[in-house]
Amino acid sequence: MNELYPHFSFSSIPTKSKSAPRARLGKLSTPHGVIETPNFIFCATKASVKGVASHHLKALGTNIILANTYHLMLAPGADLIEKMGGLHKFMGFEGVLLTDSGGYQIFAMGHGSVSEEIKRKSKHFSRASLIKITEEGALFRSYLNGQKFFLAPETSIAIQKKLGADLIVQLDECTPYHVSKSYTERSTKMSLRWGRRSLQAFTAGNDHRQALYRVIQGGIYPELRKMSVRGSEEEPFFGTALGGSLGKDKHQMHDIIAYTTEQLRNSTQPIHLLGIGDVEDIFLGVKEGIDTFDCVKPTRMARHGSIIVPKSVHERGFINLKNAQYRSDPTPLDETKKDFPICRYSRGYLHHLLKAREIAAAEILTQYNVLQMNQLFHSIRVALKNDSPEAFAALEKKWLKP
């Protein structure tokens, strides 16, 4: 592995926490910096974290973000980004960058989100963008202009090489919740083959500037998750990402995460949980040994007027500043963070900005949620390092218990 990734490393140590005995503290080293784990990766889908300019991210404690291969291949295009010096230079971000493979978009184009699947309660879905998936790859139409594109493991890797992110991901099929076990098994085996093809394409002409993650699939079936883990564990990937539909509800999702991470218990690779960002799920993932998480939820909530808070502050775990009760509230956004100018604005003023649909509202609240998530993960790491075995339990109680 060192021959493939001489400029990358990951090391982890167990914690002393009685309530999180399987959690681990780690350091992920890349050419663009060292990331302490557990950590959160904000989504810069189109080379931008919505509502936050790149130069503000570092001041808010952000040192790793994720950009979307599918969206960037459509616009402005991987060739242009490569010509502009790669993603880091293109978006003016000095930290660590991760790009996904485009595999989730294959799922979303054909089936919508998991919640949309379950709400529809039907196997008949709009497939307006996705044309077909074969052993060779996925054929789809651009949502921008209808142009046909073909994404294969090799083209996904080629695009990600041009984008130049530090951490990149193999192409996989993210199986939807509603499909049969037999389909999920066929798809999981195909994703394993796609992983080998991705690795072969990555190895060819490898310039040691990037590190490749495999993706674990298998849907809601434990035996298929195990098959996916075992099927690629001997391949020289740098990291492991957990993907796919994780179930119809929180309970099933937590069971699948726990089972899958049990199969990875002795892994020396960094483990990433794709697309999960609820605070409850983060605490569960940390306790199961997950190192990094990504999700659009913190920034999306902000754009809709909500800030993330511990349940000890509000029983719902968030405050919607659009609510009428904040119309004349002089309370600062967050009295505990007065060193940050955005936290000094009154809730009444922010309520006004939201109602007036001023762009500044989304900007301020997005920066706040980014700051809040970064400080949460810092607190998690401190709690796991703490000599007190109950420190993590106390933090979890603060965030999850009203």
Which of 100, 166, 281, 291 is labelled catalytic?
100
100 is catalytic: yes
CB contact set of 113 (below 8 Å; sequence gap of 6+):
none
What burial class does residue 223 get, using C-beta atoms within 10 Å of its C-beta: 0-12 exposed, 13-18 middle, 19+ buried? exposed
CB 383 within 8 A of CB 394: yes
Which of 166, 281, 291, 294 is labelled catalytic?
294
Cis amide bond preceding 76, omega within 30 = yes
Of 13, 16, 12, the residue nearest 269 (C-alpha):
12
Identify the three-state secondary structure at position 48: coil
CB 106 within 8 A of CB 120: no
DSSP state letters, 110-160: HH--HHHHHHHTSS----SSEEEE-SS-EEEE-TTT--EEEE-HHHHHHHH
CB contact set of 146 (below 8 Å; sequence gap of 6+):
none
Return d(Cα 19, Cα 339) in angstroms, integer.
32
Helix axis angle, 181-203 to 222-232, nearest 10°: 20
Return d(Cα 211, Cα 239) in angstroms, integer.
8
Return d(Cα 402, Cα 387) in angstroms, integer.
26
Output DSSP code: residue 18. Answer: S
Name the pairing type of β-strands 39-43 and 292-295.
Answer: parallel
In which residue are the tokens 């509230």 written?
A: 329
**Partners of 149 in beta bridges:** 140
294 is catalytic: yes
Question: Looking at the annotation, which residues are catalytic?
Answer: 100, 294
